[in-house]
Amino acid sequence: MGLNCAIDGPSGAGKSTIAKELARRLGFVYVDTGALYRSIGYYVVSKGAKTSSAEEVVPLLGDISIELKYVDGVQRVILNGEDVSDKIRTPEISMAASNVSAIPEVRDFLLNLQRDIAGKNDIIMDGRDIGTVILPSAEVKVFLTASAEERARRRFEELKDKGQNVVYEDVLNDINQRDYNDSHRETAPLKKADDAVELDTTSMTVDEVVGSIEKLIIEAQREESVPFKKIPAFRRWLFAIPRFIVRVGFSIVFNLKYEGTENLPDHGSVILAGNHRTWFDPVLIAIRVKYISAYMAKAELFDHFPLNVIIRAVHGFPTRRNSADVSALTRAEEAIRKGYNLTIFPEGTRSKDGKIGRAKSGVAFIASKCGVPVYPVGISFKSKLHFRSKITVRFGKPISPEELHINSMSKTDLRAAGELIMSNIAGLVDSDA
């Protein structure tokens, strides 16, 4: 069973834009149920029947077979073997869909199809009655609204961008008409489920809306997810041996100074976030922290033997840079839940001159998603490293998830949290290093 997120609301509230982006970020399947009603509307129109007449529509249902396919994560609707995904996006078919959707037999006809898809996957499903009828036990329910004028404006822009010749007033009239139809029909009218969160998107950006819902989904996942575990003691002991050997080796080659060790965590499942200076930064941190850490390492490193074997042995896993790598974020979360720390370098790339760069959003995202603290680490040394160079590794006080102040997973929130983490790290780095 996957996690179900139901997004309902009137036409043009931004459901599909929001749902698509959410599905992309979270690796969920997006199910656009409006497309199912549109396909039926399209079929009825193509047969020359009246879309508002149950007598004419119901007998046609027996001839209809609808399938949803996913091509590169994008939903395609297959009506009797034909891909009609693009043909169902006209104002005429919008109205036809609204008409047929008021017929109880049409809604029954589509009920099981929608439930079947939801049963198998983590899904974001948008429509009008998802939270109330189709998936009443969905873990997350959202009711998206916006003023009719704003919704008409958005739909108008969308149709214009697609090259369709439309007049704003007509789009607004359509929206008002469809609102009336959708909320006054007898079967499954458009209404907010009692337990749905209502979001008025009139003056919100797409990123703000997506971030708010993402946060709700993540909280629901956290409730469902397995509790944190501890790494078995024997594994920690086993790891202590190579760690000791490496520490002796590094202490011979460099003049290592560790400061702020009283701030070190006395348990696992935390994030250690440092500035990135050298390829062996993870080692500098690992040899001083008692608990075993997992690492994100750039995917290219896994192309080379024996480096790949070594990195995996020390719990490294690949991440693709410059993209929201959903699988790397999932691996990071799994590691933290199993009791490992996560050592991460939020800037992503090494700083050659010691200047502190900007954090990528991953670190704040994982901290907020897992609800774990971030321990800042500052690594400092002067100019080029050579034998017996002095390297200072300074551990700072942990930053709690509450201090990161992430209200939604919007880019703005994640960026602000990333900046807070980097400024804590910067405070631990020698200014002349």
Among 128, 141, 154, 277, binds ligand DC (CB under 6 A): 128
What gap in Å lies between CA 79 and CA 83, rounded to an integer? 6
Among 129, 214, 347, 413, binds ligand DC (CB under 6 A): 129
Is 33 a binder of ligand DC (CB under 6 A)?
yes
Q: What angle do CA 266, 366, 235 make, to 5 degrees?
A: 40
Determine how β-strand 197-200 pairs with β-strand 140-145.
parallel
Contact (Cβ atoms closer than 8 angstroms) between residue 340 and residue 39: no
What gap in Å lies between CA 95 and CA 117, rounded to an integer? 25
Task: Please give the residues from 163 up to 182 whose contact with ligand DC meets the rule CB under 6 A.
Answer: 178, 182
Min dist. Cβ of residue 367 to ligand DC (A): 36
Query: Would you say 101 or 269 has its CB closer to ligand DC?
Result: 101
Among 127, 362, 373, 396, binds ligand DC (CB under 6 A): 127
Contact (Cβ atoms closer than 8 angstroms) between residue 407 and residue 379: no
Contact (Cβ atoms closer than 8 angstroms) between residue 342 and residue 271: yes
Min dist. Cβ of residue 145 to ligand DC (A): 14
What gap in Å lies between CA 25 and CA 20, rounded to an integer? 9
What six digits make up the tokens of 328? Answer: 């790397």
In the three-class reduction of DSSP (H, G, I as helix; E, B as strand; rest coil), residue 199 is classed as: strand
Query: Would you say 61 or 253 has its CB closer to ligand DC?
Result: 61
Q: Which DSSP string corresponds to 319-387?
A: E-TTS--HHHHHHHHHHHHTT-EEEE-TTSS--SSS---PPPTHHHHHHHHHT--EEEEEEE--SS--T
Query: Would you say 140 or 328 has its CB closer to ligand DC?
Result: 140
Among 77, 97, 285, 292, binds ligand DC (CB under 6 A): 97
Among 51, 75, 98, 293, binds ligand DC (CB under 6 A): 98
Is 408 a binder of ligand DC (CB under 6 A)?
no
Task: Please give the residues from 37 up to 66 whose contact with ligand DC meets the rule CB under 6 A.
Answer: 37-38
Min dist. Cβ of residue 210 to ligand DC (A): 18
Is 243 a binder of ligand DC (CB under 6 A)?
no
Is 101 a binder of ligand DC (CB under 6 A)?
yes
Is 201 a binder of ligand DC (CB under 6 A)?
no
Half-sphere exposure of 422 (CA within 13 A, CB side): 19
Min dist. Cβ of residue 152 to ligand DC (A): 13
CA 413, chain centre distance (Å): 14
Min dist. Cβ of residue 33 to ligand DC (A): 4
Is 9 a binder of ligand DC (CB under 6 A)?
no
What gap in Å lies between CA 431 and CA 433, rounded to an integer? 6
Query: Would you say 126 or 413 has its CB closer to ligand DC?
Result: 126
Query: Would you say 39 or 410 has its CB closer to ligand DC?
Result: 39
Residues that bind ligand DC (CB under 6 A): 11, 33-34, 37-38, 94, 97-98, 101, 127-130, 178, 182
